[in-house]
Amino acid sequence: MRLTARFPCCIALALVAAFNIVLACGAEAAPATVAAAGAAASKDSPQLTAFKKAIRAKYDLKEKSFAAHDAETIVTQFYASDVISAGEGEGIFVGRDAIRPLYQEVVKDNTVKVESVHTFVNGNAGWDWADFHVYPADPKNKPFTFAILFLWAKVDGQWICKGDFFMTGSFRTGTLQSAPAAPKK
């Protein structure tokens, strides 16, 4: 993936998309107090535990699909048909048909590992701030990490990614990183 420019407006787009997912999914009202918010995100919450398990299975699917150079599984089994994806230096993609060429390209020469950092769920909507580690096959290209926000909705009893926003950096370390150099041809 090339990363050449920063798009602050994409942050607003991602937040609006997250809010719209919560509204569209009929999620319960946001917690009214800090204590209620803490309980909703608590490690002891059965809802959060189930959500983390479900999205971990989706992340495993994505990792295996990258390793198998299988873009179609990612596009059709990880992402919703109306997905919105926005990425630093990549652009804004709406719908599976828009993200398909991106994934057809990036699965060719990379493997990935997704590491959840901060996870929240409320009813049929959830989001996960994660570090998305990319390992290029070509040793001339250094591995790098995206700080990525995945937006999830529960549809027909299954969690599906409705959108994501990513930039070069790490939620785990709390740092931004410079974009990786373009692949050498």
List, for residues 6-62, the tens digit of each pLDDT value.
333 334 344 444 444 444 444 445 556 656 655 555 567 899 999 999 999 999 999
Q: Does 134 reside within a domain? A: yes
pLDDT at 131: 96
- In which band, very low, low, confident or very high, does the pLDDT at 139 lie, cut at 50, 70 and 90? very high
pLDDT at 59: 98
Per-residue exposure over 35-49, b if at least 16 CB sit within 10 Å of its own CB, e if not? eeeeebbeeeeeebe
Three-point CA angle 46, 159, 50, nearest 5°: 15
Angstrom distance (rounded) from CA 121 to CA 51: 7
Here the CATH number for the domain that contains residue 69 is 3.10.450.50
pLDDT at 33: 61
Print the domain residue range for 29: 8-175
The counts of H helices and E strands in the chain are 5, 7
* Number of domains present in the structure of the chain: 1
Mean pLDDT of 126-154: 96
The residue whose two tokens read 């652009």 is 91
Q: Does 184 reside within a domain? A: no
Whole-prediction pTM: 0.77
